[in-house]
Structure formats: C-alpha cells, structure tokens
Amino acid sequence: AERAAAATWAGPGRLADGTPVAVLANVADGGAAATAAAGPAEGVGLFRTELCFLGTAVEPDVEAQAGVYVEVLAPFAERARAAGGPGDGTDVKVVLRTLDAGSDKPIAYATPAEEENPALGVRGLRVVRRDAGLLERQLDAVALAADRTGLRPWVMAPMVATEAEARDFAAAVRARGLVPGVMVEVPAAALLAARMLAHVDFLSIGTNDLTQYTLAADRLSADLADLNDPWQPAVLALVATTGLAGQRAGKPVGVCGEAAADPLLACVLVGLGVTSLSAASAAVPAVGARLATVTLEQCRAAAAAALDAADPAAARDAAAAALG
Ligand code: PEP
Ligand code: MG
C-alpha cells in the first residue's frame, strides 16, 4: 500500500490535516534539476555546487559558474512559467548552496592540500578565510543566473559555526538581491539557531554533518555507523532546538540531509518544527506520501517519543508506535 501511495503521490507536500510541508529535491547538476522539475518535488532544497567542480584544477570564471547555476534554475523557471505563477521569481523555491569544498570533497582551487584533520579544517564557508573573493565570485555568478532565468534563488552557506559568519554571509547575499540562509551542520549553529535567524531568512539542517559533529564520529567510518545515525537522541534534540527557533522567528527550517529521505524520520522532523524536507528525487514520492497520512499532532507525539528514547532503535520503534 505504501508503494502504491508513493507511485501516485503528485504533491504538493501536505499532512493529513492540511498543514503544508514542502517536499523538495536534492540535485547535483542541471540534468538532475530537469529530472526533479519533471516530478512532484516543489523545488530544490539543496544544490551542491561543489559536485560540479570536483575535478576542476583552476577556479572557473564567473561566467562559467553562472552557466552551472542557470542549468539548475532554468527547468524550474520554465515550470513556473508553464504553471502561470506570479512570475516574479518567488513562486518556486530553489536553494543553492555555496561551495562546500574540503573534508570528504576536496577541491584543488579552494581547499588546503594538507590538513591534519580535514573534517575539522578549512571546509565550507571557512574557505573565505583564505580567499574572500571565492565567495564574492560565486554570489556574482548566482546573481547573473537569477537575472537570466527570472528566478530569485535562496542561497545558503555550508559549515557555519558562528553568528558573525551568518551575519557577513547574509550581507553579501542580500547585497545581490538574493535570499540568505545558513546550514545547520555544526552543533554550535543548532545551539545558537535563534541568533543565526536574526541575520538570515531560513535555516537548512544538514543532518549528515550535524550527526557526524554531534557524535564526533566520522561519517565515512563503517565502524562508527551506529553513532552516525540521525535517530540518535542527541541529534534529534539539536533539531528540536533549531525547529523551535524557526517557529519563534516565523522563518522556515528545512532538512536536506539523508534523514529527510526516511519517511518515518521525516514525520518526526516535522514534529520537531521542520517546515520542509529535501531528498534525492527518487526518495521524494515516498516521503510525500507518508506525510499525507499523518497529522501535525501525530508528528509531534512521534517527535516527543523519539526524543525520549534511549537509542536510535528505540526512537524508531517509539515514533512508529506514536504514528499508529
Ligand atoms: C549534510 O551534511 O547533511 C548535507 C546535506 O551536506 P553534505 O551531505 O553535502 O555534506
Ligand atoms: Mg554537509
């Protein structure tokens, strides 16, 4: 029955009681964006810029970078035009992430070659410490792509840890008429979510890294897979802190890590205050279909039960029981 519901789910994302929960797609390039735009996802919750430049030795010029963003935005701009939306660039949500170079995704032109501990090193937004122009040029490229496609993308920074980082990033994004946000991937950002939201318009929780950094367990280590589990109560507690901050500020909080692709966990995340979920296009229908079967009240009960559980397995069982 679950598979049948997923096969026919056409969006938009809604709980059984009508509460809207945007279900978005994670995309890696223009082709994936075209696939997503042809499916039920309402937009893009995460475009991973760095995946387009993994093998690139020298920084592409602004024009070349803009070309990559145009490819991601264009399919959704076309879809919005076909649907006859307001056409002011705000009718589709596309979230572009600035370069998340470093750690497991080294990029020759952006990251230091030798780091003792790259997961804790100069990655994500931290590359601006070595070359501030790198971010400026990316944002110029995004602004060009926005002009050319008529969409007004949301732009977020990865690996943000301090309020000053959020403030400076937001100023650079706003200066170009774009919508600024930060990812919550470092526990510091979750703990200070309310203060981050004083500067930016949205948060997006990257549960892959948030789990790695909360449990201090390398996300690539098979030996530590039990720790690297977004059902860990400590991770859920940080999601709860972030979700509550979003609700108090009246600003959206998404999840774009693998956790959003797990339909049961998606319900728990919504119960913790998350307002959108972004997963690989293939996972989108199952998540949307599951959300359509539960109420916000049930999601909140599942979230409370999962938060109280002693470990991931107990959290899963408790959430499933609460959802009935
Ligand atoms: C995350 O950390 O959850 C995330 C979405 O970013 P990435 O997987 O690209 O590090
Ligand atoms: Mg990450």
Query: What is the tens place of the pLDDT at every residue in 226-284?
Result: 999 999 999 999 999 999 999 999 999 999 999 999 999 999 999 999 999 999 999 99
pLDDT of 313 higher than 80: yes
**Single pTM value for the model:** 0.97
State the average pLDDT over residues 220-225. 96
User: 276 pairs with which residues across the strands?
Assistant: 22, 254
pLDDT the model gives residue 89 = 65
Position 46 scores a pLDDT of 98
Atom nearest to 185 CA in ligand 1:
2
- pLDDT of 86: 61
What was the pLDDT predicted at 98?
98
Would you place residue 34 in the very low, low, confident or very high pLDDT band (cuts 50, 70, 90)?
very high
CA–CA distance, 288 with 314 (Å, rounded to integer): 24
pLDDT in tens, 115-139: 899 999 999 999 999 999 999 999 9
Q: Is the pLDDT of residue 88 over 70?
A: no
Residues in Cβ contact with 263 at an 8 Å cutoff, skipping those fewer than 6 apart: 2, 286, 287, 289, 290, 291
Q: Which protein residues are within 6 Å of ligand 1, measured from CB?
A: 46, 48, 100, 185, 206-209, 256-257
Instruction: Report the pLDDT value the prediction gives residue 272, as an integer from 0 to 100.
Output: 98
pLDDT of 233: 97
User: What average pLDDT score do residues 96-106 get?
Assistant: 91
Ligand nearest to the Cα of 208, by number? 1
pLDDT of residue 324: 86
Query: Rounded CA gap, 121 and 137, in Å?
Result: 22
- Distance of CA 305 to CAs 227, 231, 263, Å? 20, 12, 16
Instruction: Indicate if the pLDDT at residue 304 is higher than 90.
Output: yes
Protein residues within 5 Å, CB atom, of ion ligand 2: 185, 206, 209
Pairing type for strands 154-157 and 202-205 reads unpaired
Low-confidence winner among 49-53, 95-99, 104-108 (lowest mean pLDDT): 104-108
Q: Residue with the nearest Cα to atom 8 of ligand 1?
A: 208
Rounded CA-CA distance 247/271 in Å is: 12
